[in-house]
Structure 1
Amino acid sequence: MTRAFIFPGQGSQAVGMGLALSESFGAARLVFEEVDEALKQKLSKLIFEGPESDLTLTENAQPALMAVSIAALRVLESEGGWRLADKASYVAGHSLGEYSALAAAGALDLSDAARLLKLRGQAMQKAVPVGEGAMAALLGPDLEQVQKIAKQAADDTKLICGVANDNSPGQVVVSGAKAAVERAIAIAAEQGVKRSVMLPVSAPFHCALMQPAADAMEEALAKAAIRQPAVPVVANVTAQPTSDAATIAKLLVSQVTATVRWRESILTMKSLGVAKTYELGAGKVLAGLVKRIDKEIEASSVGAPADVETALKALS
């Protein structure tokens, strides 16, 4: 069976995530210790104990989620006696999860991934003053309809509004200036969209307003050591697999302002033979999206000791 390991993005964080893994497995503890050392910050204490308000800050949530994902992977590898490339043919991650995927596949060192995500979180937060940007999930319409809604909202307000995430059929997220996003919700309602939800985020991710953050990441990634991954990564920006280090760096820069093409990424992996996905890290958001995108793909999540046991049996 062809498998993919996938890695969650922001919004999946919760105080206490990864704690049971850390208490049960030395391989997980080593990951949290290395991330703490890389950031010169006791991030693990924040992950395990909170407060939630600090963990939710973008600059903390991004490296924290990556740490939990890699902890889950390292536990599977150490307990199973194998490496990722022995069991998975592709990796992919949602937004910041793409960095987790690259660290999992050996394209980035764990410490470098943590530092890059800390910087990415800080740069994204600084790009737009709090309160000026917004994001909203439009539930029901397809990508093409939401693209038209976002364009009309941008034209009406002369402000930025675009598609940030194409998550699954019927779940598309828009991002941009607050007034433009509010206009998009109004247009959606006029067109019969039954539900739109403003998201509790501190900045409008994955839209043109994030260009200052993209510039900061371009500078940082130019100095980063990126290697060929052990298996191809299916990139958010293209929804296609790549193994070229220079291309990976360029796509990570583009990713800051571009649409996360998650629905297409899953369909691409299916077309390449993937029949089972394992979501490694906090929460079960991606497993839920996979099931909505294509019911034929098996999806499971690994974030707690009990999940490890189940996954190891399935992967043996």
Structure 2
Amino acid sequence: MPDRTALLFPSQGSYLPEVLRPLAAAHPAVGDVLTAVDHAATQYGCAPVTPVLLQPRAPSLEELLDRDPETLQLAIFATSLAVHTVITEVHGVQADVLVGHSMGEVTALVAAGVYTVGDGAGIICLRSRAMRDHGGSGSQVAVGLSAERTAHLLGVLALDDLQIAAVNGPRQTVVSGTDDSVDLLSDAASAIGVAQARVPWPYLSHNHLMAAAAQELGESVALIPASPLHGRIYSPVYGRFLRDEDDFPQLIAGHLTRTVDFLGAVRWLHARGCDTFVEGGAGRVLTNFVHEATGLAHTVALLDQPVDLTGFEAAASTLPGFRPDSAAATSPLTAAPEPGADDLEPARAATGPTALPEWDELLAELRRMYAEETEAPEDLIEFDMDLESELGVDSLTQLSLFARAARRYGRAEPPKSLRITDYSTLADLADLLRRMDAA
């Protein structure tokens, strides 16, 4: 089944003063997020973010960039998690896939339950510190060219320190490097009539010159405990869905040296049925990129300015699964995805284990689900076929499908300790469902 709705978590620049105040006033869950972030920030030697996000006459983006870029990063992280918490916990919306741009990938890992809110805030502090201590005199510039034409321009300049940092859209590519080299690139772009603008961030990132900082960051993050994924994350750095066996500290460290292909992520998801992209933070930077990349996808900016609570809820009400006044049944930071928008069969009423269908019918239903996910003909899927090695279904997808089957038949949510790879065939999964308690 296709992922229909993607929730996007932004990075630097996605900050609007006071934009979170209406949500914080209406929903105590926002205060819980901010409290956890503030507590972790203090432990890691950073300033709390609540005064910045909620005080009247809050500092502007330019002011924070100039005097406190570390707090700015925490504010962007906290805002995104507050948005995610409200739409999931209060309004029952569960996105099919999470996508983080650069630092936003840390937010996605928290939203998918890999890290706690506090640990995620600690990672942001460690990340900011690594860039501050090792960033040198580097900077970034956005040029109005495709990635291919930008790479050609860099080849002409032949400056070893210049690197494509991010591919944001069909005609926006960000390049990072030392200040002197970025100046030369800007001059060259202007000389050939190409629009360009400096990215307002004081430290070098997404550049091979940050290798020492990346190693230090990876070693620090490796000390923070991680849990299995409880949601689907598509990584613009890896160019694929993340898996439980991925090295998440190295993914986070890689943000300092590797390119973010956001355009590639959007096009890949859109080509496979994702038709709604939601800005999970302040402003509409990422959804603007989506519009440029696809032209057709539905985009939703939840905290665009000016905004009030009515405006936020009006935007959120366009999302699949929106409930006006009820809390979702599961925790916002550990919930598995709800059934896809094209899963049209209603859930079966279940009062106990006997509510399951007969064995043959249950096997047939599981086979149908896996056939839809893999786009393989049903008659080629055997009940004793190994789902990963023979059918190519990764463990995260298996867990998501099994959780959906459990909900359909009124079974309790699978425990976090469940090793889905221990149940390698459809027959194994059917037997597990028969032995599970009713919800």
What's the TM-score, normalizing by structure 2?
0.66
Shift of 1:123: 1.0
Corresponding residue SS for 1:274 = coil
1:51 aligns with 2:68: no
1:118 to 108, 112, 125: 125
Are the aligned partners of 1:290 and 1:299 in contact in 2 as well (CA < 8 Å)? yes
Q: How many residues align?
A: 305
Are the aligned partners of 1:226 and 1:249 in contact in 2 as well (CA < 8 Å)? no
Alignment of 1:1-316 (within 5 A): 2-40=4-42, 41-49=47-55, 50-52=58-60, 55-56=64-65, 57-80=68-91, 82=92, 87-129=94-136, 132-139=137-144, 141-153=145-157, 155=158, 157=159, 159-190=160-191, 192-303=192-303, 305=309, 306-316=311-321
1:212 partner letter:
A
Shift of 1:119: 1.2
Considering only CA atoms, is the larger Rg found in Structure 1 or Structure 2?
A: 2
Shift of 1:313: 4.8
Instruction: Return 22-31 or 232-241, whichever deviates more.
Output: 232-241
Q: How far apart, in 2, do the equivalents of 1:44 and 1:62 lie?
A: 13
Q: How far apart, in 2, do the equivalents of 1:76 and 1:99 lie?
A: 19
Instruction: Return 168-177 or 54-63, whichever deviates more.
Output: 54-63
Answer 1 or 2: higher relative contact order, Cα 8 Å, separation at least 6. 1
1:308 partner letter:
E
Instruction: Return 33-42 or 305-314, whichever deviates more.
Output: 305-314
2:162 partner letter:
C
Shift of 1:211: 2.0
Are the aligned partners of 1:236 and 1:255 in contact in 2 as well (CA < 8 Å)? no
Are the aligned partners of 1:59 and 1:119 in contact in 2 as well (CA < 8 Å)? no
Gaps of 5+ in 1: none
Q: How far apart, in 1, do the equivalents of 2:64 and 2:149 lie?
A: 35
Shift of 1:54: 6.0
2:53 partner letter:
I
Are the aligned partners of 1:59 and 1:120 in contact in 2 as well (CA < 8 Å)? no
Are the aligned partners of 1:15 and 1:55 in contact in 2 as well (CA < 8 Å)? no
Shift of 1:266: 0.6
1:54/1:114 CA distance change after superposition, 3 Å: farther
> Per-residue displacement from partner, 1:221-257 (whole Å, max 9, x unpaired)?
2112222322221113122111225333322222211
Instruction: Return 66-75 or 55-64, whichever deviates more.
Output: 55-64
Q: How far apart, in 1, do the equivalents of 2:205 and 2:184 lie?
A: 18
1:32/1:143 CA distance change after superposition, 3 Å: same
2:317 partner letter:
L
> Per-residue displacement from partner, 1:239-290 (whole Å, max 9, x unpaired)?
2111225333322222211111100011121133211111111111111111
Which is strand-richer, 1 or 2? 1
1:167 partner letter:
N
1:127 partner letter:
H
Q: Percent identity?
A: 24
1:58/1:151 CA distance change after superposition, 3 Å: farther
> Per-residue displacement from partner, 1:41-66 (whole Å, max 9, x unpaired)?
43110223343466333321222111
Q: How far apart, in 2, do the equivalents of 1:119 and 1:270 lie?
A: 33
What's the TM-score, normalizing by structure 1?
0.90
Are the aligned partners of 2:291 and 2:299 in contact in 1 as well (CA < 8 Å)? yes
2:84 partner letter:
L
Instruction: Return 114-123 or 208-217, whichever deviates more.
Output: 208-217
1:142/1:75 CA distance change after superposition, 3 Å: same
Shift of 1:113: 0.5
Are the aligned partners of 2:219 and 2:249 in contact in 1 as well (CA < 8 Å)? no
Q: How far apart, in 1, do the equivalents of 2:120 and 2:263 lie?
A: 25
Are the aligned partners of 1:5 and 1:88 in contact in 2 as well (CA < 8 Å)? yes
Shift of 1:217: 1.5
Are the aligned partners of 2:168 and 2:261 in contact in 1 as well (CA < 8 Å)? yes
Corresponding residue SS for 1:299 = strand
2:11 partner letter:
G
Are the aligned partners of 1:133 and 1:203 in contact in 2 as well (CA < 8 Å)? yes
Shift of 1:291: 0.4
Corresponding residue SS for 2:113 = coil
Gaps of 5+ in 2: 322-439
Which is helix-richer, 1 or 2? 1
> Per-residue displacement from partner, 1:97-139 (whole Å, max 9, x unpaired)?
111111111111110000100110121122123xx21211111
Are the aligned partners of 1:58 and 1:125 in contact in 2 as well (CA < 8 Å)? no
1:54/1:31 CA distance change after superposition, 3 Å: farther
> Per-residue displacement from partner, 1:142-173 (whole Å, max 9, x unpaired)?
111111222433x2x5x511111100010111
Are the aligned partners of 2:114 and 2:227 in contact in 1 as well (CA < 8 Å)? yes
Are the aligned partners of 1:90 and 1:234 in contact in 2 as well (CA < 8 Å)? yes
1:47 partner letter:
L
Are the aligned partners of 1:133 and 1:178 in contact in 2 as well (CA < 8 Å)? yes
Shift of 1:4: 1.0
1:291 partner letter:
H
Shift of 1:91: 0.5
